[in-house]
Amino acid sequence: MAPRHKKTKKKIVAQLPTLHPHAAGIDIGAREIWVAVPPGSDPRPVRRFDTFTDDLHQLRDWLLQCGVQTVAMESTGVYWIPLFQILEAAGLEVCLVNARHCRNLPGRKTDVQDCQWLQYLHAVGLLRASFRPPEHTCAIAAGSCAVPPIRCA
């Protein structure tokens, strides 16, 4: 009887065309931020930043050094707001991605892999930005919802 050989299927990886060659991916947490830039933009294309204001400015400067023009950010809660405003003020196009929409996508196990996956998906145009009104509308909405100060007697 001849030995049976198991047939192996060759995995075919489809290469999608890059629509945004200067795209970065950012995974935001409460204590740290992981950022991935396109391979070849920097010797270390994935970096970790703290969440203090000085660190956010360093992150912005690094993205601009790497030639990044557009950024996809994934965050829950309100941790994304300061970074969003800093990057937008620097002239970067910021795509805020709903974490629930990305949760079911395969290929993410760690924060490093998560930001790399976001960078790839954004580069090939597979991410959709959440709605964010213009800055002047946000300022008006924030002013109308402000809680009046408490007066002590």
The model carries a pTM of: 0.76
The residue among 31 and 139 whose pLDDT is bigger is: 31
Whole-number Å distance between alpha carbons of 105 and 127: 11
Whole-number Å distance between alpha carbons of 19 and 14: 15
pLDDT beyond 70 at 87? yes
Whole-number Å distance between alpha carbons of 57 and 87: 9
What pLDDT is stored for residue 140 in this prediction?
64
Domain 23-141 is in which class?
Answer: alpha beta
End-to-end CA distance of the chain: 97
Provide the mean pLDDT of the chain.
82
Residues 6+ apart with CB under 8 A from 150: none
Which of 61, 50, 36 lies closest to 111 in space, CA to CA? 36
Q: Return the amino acid letter for 35.
A: V
> Is residue 99 packed enough to be buried (19+ CB in 10 Å), middle (13-18) or exposed (0-12)?
middle
Q: Hey, where are the domains in the chain? A: 23-141
What pLDDT is stored for residue 66 in this prediction?
97
What pLDDT is stored for residue 150 in this prediction?
44
What pLDDT is stored for residue 141 in this prediction?
59
